[in-house]
Amino acid sequence: MGQGVGRPERRSKSLRLDGYQTIMTAEEEEEEEAAECAEDVAEKHSQKLKAICGQADLKNEAVGLYNIGLSCCLNSLLQVFFMNRNFTAILRRIKVPFDAVEQKQSVPYQMLLLLEAMQRGKHKSVHPTGLAKCLSEHRVRLFVLYDASQLFLILWNLIKSQITNSHLAESLADLYTIRLQEYLVCQKCLLETKKNSNMLMLPLPMFSHDSHRVRTLEDSLHCFFAPEHLTGDNMCHCKRCDKKTVCLQGMKVTCLPQTLTLHLKRFCSKHGNDTQKIGHYLSFPQNLDFRQILTREQYQPDFPEEGSGLYDLFAVVAHSGSARCGHYCAYIWSLMEHKWYCFNDSSVCQVSWDDVKCTYGHAGLRWSETAYLLVYRKKESAAAF
């Protein structure tokens, strides 16, 4: 759905106590020397690779990715990851797997190699073949129509699960995780039940609760966070009343991440399993202020700081075509050059904000290009790098 032609640390050398000696055969000595030599080579390669990738965001020229089999969705998401310096700062600090088989199966390592190829090569575009083969080992195959929101979650979870350093894995989680608190209030006895939850993206509706079209991102956020009365068949069991009662259900934000991903739910199922695309107009701003969009009850950060709710638009993953056959590309703001670029597989070109606004949508155009994923970056994080 939503896509078409265009989802062990290196073992440290053991310490030997003074006066303690071991007797080894010549064969064992050779094996140990060979192992130490291999470890040294791997360590040097790891340091060299990190040094190279540490310069990744210093190269001004944007590099494309070839479409190698309905991979426009994958290519667009990879560009959004790579252009985010908060993400590459984590990626270039990963521990390189020592074993060759592990290297081929490590998604973070293969992403690091691809980033190196993009930054060191002299070509305008590179083939993400190694990463694609690695992803196929994890059942993410080519020539499959992926939904960008689903593939983003698959990629992110693979990356996090394969980062062996717990501190880096936690940093990745902090970078993307939206922390919420859900609540349920019985309207008869006013018993309130709370539950904390985490999300990697907010799935925002294209229609309001009364089935009217949502025209702006701000209104879509209002709809998502609006409290809802659960009545009739949707009533919940109240422990105090010991029966099903009318309840008020809602949620509030307790922590917003540095990189905020918003999913515009433009694909919906109608008439059974038939999936259709919603192409109507929905505008989104270059800047967001959650203190202005949400109420004080809806936005209650655990650690409120000045400017903590301010965001700048960083990337737009746009979809053209229908739910059955289409194409993805990514509009991304260059943090180094302060310019918008369109990454359309191997084609990369500079664009204007007016070009990005064309992804607002147009219901009258069957092949209309519409924004599907919006990525915002917290203002202070942009200044920190």
User: Which DSSP string do the residues of 70-139 spell out, in sequence order?
Assistant: S-HHHHHHHHHHHT-HHHHHHHTTSPPPSSHHHHHH-HHHHHHHHHHHHHH--SSEE--HHHHHHHHTTT
**HSE toward the beta carbon, residue 100, CA cutoff 13 A:** 2
Q: Which two tokens stand for residue 315?
A: 């990337």
By residue range, what is the domain housing residue 271?
35-384
β-bridge partners, 253: 180, 299
- Please say whether the beta carbons of 260 and 376 come within 8 A: yes
pLDDT at 272: 63
pLDDT at 303: 76
pLDDT at 383: 40
Q: Under 8 Å CB-to-CB from 241, ≥6 apart: which residues? A: 186, 188, 189, 191
CA distance linking residue 111 with residue 7, whole number of Å:
16
Phi, psi angles (nearest 5°) of residue 61: -75, 125
The C-alpha angle with vertex 176 and arms to 174 and 181, in degrees rounded to 5, equals: 80
CA distance linking residue 49 with residue 35, whole number of Å:
21
Residue 7 belongs to a domain = no
- Please say whether the beta carbons of 68 and 128 come within 8 A: yes
CA distance linking residue 64 with residue 347, whole number of Å:
6
Q: How many domains is the chain partitioned into structurally? A: 1
In the block, tokens 């060299």 appear at 48
CATH number, domain containing residue 159? 3.90.70.10
pLDDT at 87: 97
Enumerate the active-site residues: 72, 327
Residue 13 belongs to a domain = no
pLDDT profile of the chain (385 residues), mean per 10: 38 29 37 42 43 42 92 97 96 93 96 94 92 95 92 97 96 97 93 94 93 94 93 91 92 94 90 80 96 91 76 97 89 94 96 95 75 93 41
Reduce the DSSP state of residue 277 to 3 states and report it.
Answer: strand
- Please say whether the beta carbons of 252 and 300 come within 8 A: yes
pLDDT at 384: 43
DSSP class of residue 213 equals B
Residue 9 belongs to a domain = no
Interhelix angle 129-136/72-82, rounded to 10 degrees, is 110
Residue 197 belongs to a domain = yes
CA distance linking residue 325 with residue 363, whole number of Å:
17
pLDDT digits (tens, 9 = 90+) for 52-70: 343 344 345 789 999 999 9
Residue 28 belongs to a domain = no
Beta pairing class for 125-126 and 178-186: unpaired
pLDDT at 17: 28
DSSP class of residue 291 equals H
**H/E element, 31:** helix 26-53
Reduce the DSSP state of residue 237 to 3 states and report it.
Answer: strand
Spell 299-328 as b/e; 16+ CB within 10 A means b: bebeeeeeebbbbbbbbbbbbbbbbeebbb
**What's this model's pTM, rounded to 2 decimal places?**
0.82
pLDDT at 145: 87
The C-alpha angle with vertex 216 and arms to 288 and 292, in degrees rounded to 5, equals: 35
Task: Measure the N-to-C terminal CA separation of the chain; round to a whole number of Å.
Answer: 36
Spell 96-127 as b/e; 16+ CB within 10 A means b: bbbeeeebebbbbbbbbbbbbbbbeeeeebbb
